[in-house]
Amino acid sequence: MKRIGLRILLSVVTVLVIGAATFFLMHSIPGGPFSAERMLPPEIEANLARKYNLDLPVTQQFGRYMSDVIRGDLGTSFVHEGQTTNQIIREGFPKSAALGGTAFLIALGLGVPLGVASALSRRTLWDGALMLMAILGVSVPSFILAGVLQYGVGFKLGWVPAAGWGDTPLQVILPALALAAFPTAFLSRLIRGSMLTVLDSDYIRTARAKGLSRGTVMLSHALRNALLPAVTYAGPLLAGLLTGSFVVENIFAIPGLGNFFVSSITDRDYTVIMGVTLFYSTLLIGLNCLVDVTYAFLDPRIS
């Protein structure tokens, strides 16, 4: 418990450091959310800067911002009138989470079994076919696959809605498949390589020599250790998928968090950029902590 507590404390410190770095990097970029691209009169721009405390020294702005962050207030958006960053995250994250969670389940549900099947049938036609599919999955960009799925399955065949969000649960299928293609292919290759290494280990040969059944050897000994690299990859993968993919969300007209994040960068909406960055960092670091704890259950040798 002491080690877990220390890990959590380090995670909190890391998030605060990321917040500080993001703040000063954003304020080091020339211009601001109310500068030349909106062609505002200087008087109006000065009033807006005063309203959002942008006229204060950077150190004072930083002190106020970090004080608000510690209280859970990520600030008011400069671009989306009347909306706070907390509201934007509350509105966008559930959509991105539903899409990312579905893609994550697809990646695990297909990637792990395919990797195991490929390892158990190595140097066969089935192994070659699976690895060819994995190479295609890793190589084809998600936006190309998204366009192909949208046109072929959505428009031409009409099996599921081609775009949109909220009208029917079927609208998540195509974007989730497009988003899951790369992690599915990557996971299958990762599991295959890890499984092959484990199957050639001495303890697997010993287990077989003891007369244990093939299923027992595969499930209780080989697969458990082969999953360690996949668990390492699963934490950052889940964080990335849950926070959304702007390209896929944009193609399928999904108003998720990724869409807000990229538009906020274009508009130099400081508070949204920093708030979403902190949210993503917290999610990523939290999931990495969960991965560390999971290691101890998969392999007792890891403290």
Residue that wins the pLDDT comparison between 5 and 184: 184
Give the mean model confidence (pLDDT) for residues 112-116: 86
pLDDT value at position 106? Answer: 92
Asked which of 68-72, 169-173, 192-196, 218-222 is least confident by mean pLDDT, the reply is 218-222
Please check the confidence at residue 34 and state whether its pLDDT lies above 80: no
For every residue of the chain, DSSP letters joined together read -HHHHHHHHHHHHHHHHHHHHHHHHHHHSSS-TTSGGG---HHHHHHHHHHTTTTS-HHHHHHHHHHHHHTT---B-SSSTT-BHHHHHHHHHHHHHHHHHHHHHHHHHHHHHHHHHHHHTTTSHHHHHHHHHHHHHHHS-HHHHHHHHIIIIIIII-SS-SS-SSS-GGGGHHHHHHHHHHHHHHHHHHHHHHHHHHHTSHHHHHHHHTT--HHHIIIIIIHHHHHHHHHHHHHHHHHHHHT--HHHHHHTT---HHHHHHHHHHHT-HHHHHHHHHHHHHHHHHHHHHHHHHHHHH-TT--
Give percent of the chain with pLDDT exceeding 90.
Answer: 1
Q: What is the mean pLDDT of the chain?
A: 80
pTM of the model: 0.76
pLDDT band of 162, cuts 50, 70, 90: confident
Quick: pLDDT tens for 165-205. 877 888 888 999 988 888 898 888 888 888 888 777 777 77
Please check the confidence at residue 303 and state whether its pLDDT lies above 60: no
pLDDT value at position 237? Answer: 81
Asked which of 81-85, 96-100, 276-280 is least confident by mean pLDDT, the reply is 81-85
